[in-house]
Amino acid sequence: MSKFLFLDSGPLGLITHPHRSEEVNAVNEWLSQCLLRGNQIVVSAIVYYEIRRELLRSQKTLGLSRLEALINAAPGRYLPLSDQALRLAADLWAQSRQHGQPTADRAALDVDIILAAQVLCFGRPRSELMIATSNPRHLSLFVSAKRWDEILP
Domain ranges of the chain: 4-150
pLDDT digits (tens, 9 = 90+) for 78-97: 999 999 999 999 999 999 99
- pTM tops 0.85: yes
Q: Where are the beta strands (DSSP E) in 15-107?
A: 40-44, 78-79
Please give the pLDDT value at position 38: 95
Question: CATH for 4-150?
Answer: 3.40.50.1010
DSSP character at residue 146:
E
Q: Strand pairing of 129-133 and 145-147?
A: parallel
Please give the pLDDT value at position 2: 81
pLDDT digits (tens, 9 = 90+) for 40-71: 999 999 999 999 999 999 999 999 999 999 99
